[in-house]
Structure 1
């Protein structure tokens, strides 16, 4: 009986991760193609209405979206969590009377740790940090895709745009933990098993935003994120890397050539532990100077390095592992 239950549980975990991978890879493109194709069929009114709604509802993602606990608490996310498994580790308190910008590293291929811990309720963020709401910010262009935008808004995802961050940090009260995957597409190109590479040295915009709204900075590291897929990494200057960089510049994200454990799509069953560090107190400055931005950017990088070395052994790495900052 236990064996049958175990097989059922494993199947549910596999299906939950498969739907997530397929959603990540194909949903935005599929919704776009569907909307265009319907325009040339007898169902064109559906496509027209969808586009009209998109125009009328254009600003909603930047003004708090339509977050619903119903989607964030789907049972499927518990199976998704257990597949790897994914864990959230708390190291310090976050006050519900302040706002925060959590910088999450590394991006990996699909940011499974960040999505599970901050985009769903399956890892207990609300219980670990009472009164604080996690708000995961992702590529802004995804909120311009008909139908797909409705799904990601319901999941409580937000555009990583200046207007969206301004709303979350100034007009949504206190207790907002805005999560930004700092390295973005550039960092995903360095994702590979055994690698701990973070693109951060020239990424200072999030620090400036933190100063403008007096939001404390919190470093976050997802140990094991880079172990989930094998990636073909092109060397700098190669044709493959040039094409990836061009695509990233035009589209905002980079196409990665990767393979997983099953059917080349499913990630390896490797544990991922997302460790949330201690907040760095940041003053509010209407017009922060470059020196102020550089100062708090340096403090952030130092805190990230400290967080990595303090928790790397307990999260499965050897003492010899280093964190490379680009």
Structure 2
């Protein structure tokens, strides 16, 4: 394989952008494991009291992630997130105003490999979410497993992340004061196994839990499509039915997390590595679909509204796709 090395003379700002993205990838892949290791190691040193005190406080604080978390204005506004945004770059595209007195569900598509667009737009202030949607607070739902990791749980809560559990979403949607957004990557971890450049397949046909939540709380659902989300990483070929895909799906069911074998570029060369490509991401936030509150919606009502959601998401995609270099003859596929 011919290696395409990066030029020696690269503007300093681009080097900083790359460094921040390396930190982000590291955080996604191994920071949780490092936090677990640190917690255990400290127990066998003269600093044993640190994990003991933390564990005590952790027990007292165990319900916080399920009650809106603990957002950190300081963490979300760090200047380094501006470098993260500019690396791709990431853009947040507003189509309509949203009422800050209401609570919303954002259906985010596609999941991608590491949900770069969702992180940049909803876990940081780098793309100006508060300026575009004043009075609203986005909370990205993340696998509950990560909120059991010492130290790491506090870091991700600071970014506005909360567990992807029903009680967590219900807490946000039940706030009478409004202003909360539950951002859900609907396809979840399984959809990440299909994330690769050009992919337009969404795992949505049997994903109806968010519809039921919206009906129970009367929360409008907003379809969100992140153009370019699947373009920033390649993935080892794993078509449906292949041995690799079967192993990945089995591990996903057992562990709760998917293990896509992704790759892109490196630090000093562009031929291989785990750093995402510099491809633009445009996250388009559509118009809300109003929902009539029904505490005990029937399956027929859920199915009907689910179909309406698919239609609105498709409409959003079709209206914007040519702006972001998707050919006119390409369409979404739902499985």
1:194 to partner: Cα distance: 0.9
- Tell me what 1:207 maps to: 211
Tell me, what secondary structure is at the counterpart of 2:323? coil
- Tell me what 1:47 maps to: 51
User: Is the Cα–Cα contact under 8 Å of residues 221 and 275 in structure 1 kept in the other structure?
Assistant: yes
User: Is the Cα–Cα contact under 8 Å of residues 91 and 276 in structure 1 kept in the other structure?
Assistant: yes
1:82 to partner: Cα distance: 0.3
- Tell me what 1:191 maps to: 195
1:197 to partner: Cα distance: 1.3
Distance 1:6 1:155 in 2: 31
What is the number of residues matched between the two proteins?
322
**TM-score normalised per structure 1:** 0.95
- Tell me what 2:118 maps to: 114
Is it true that 1:299 corresponds to 2:308 in the alignment? Answer: yes
Tell me, what secondary structure is at the counterpart of 1:313? helix
Matches for 1:1-326 after TM superposition, within 5 Å: 7-171=11-175, 173-263=177-267, 264-326=273-335
Where structure 2 has 5 or more consecutive residues not aligned to the other structure, the ranges are 1-8, 268-272
What is the Cα-based RMSD across aligned positions, in Å?
1.5
- Tell me what 2:5 maps to: none
Cα gap change, 1:170 to 1:314, in 2 (>3 Å): same
1:172 to partner: Cα distance: 6.3
Where structure 1 has 5 or more consecutive residues not aligned to the other structure, the ranges are none
1:35 to partner: Cα distance: 1.9
Distance 1:139 1:233 in 2: 25
User: Is the Cα–Cα contact under 8 Å of residues 189 and 233 in structure 1 kept in the other structure?
Assistant: no
| Structure 1 residue ranges (4+ consecutive) displaced by more than 6 angstroms after TM superposition | none
Cα gap change, 1:305 to 1:297, in 2 (>3 Å): same
User: Is the Cα–Cα contact under 8 Å of residues 54 and 144 in structure 1 kept in the other structure?
Assistant: no
**TM-score normalised per structure 2:** 0.93
Distance 1:82 1:123 in 2: 10
Distance 2:318 2:84 in 1: 28
Distance 2:40 2:253 in 1: 24
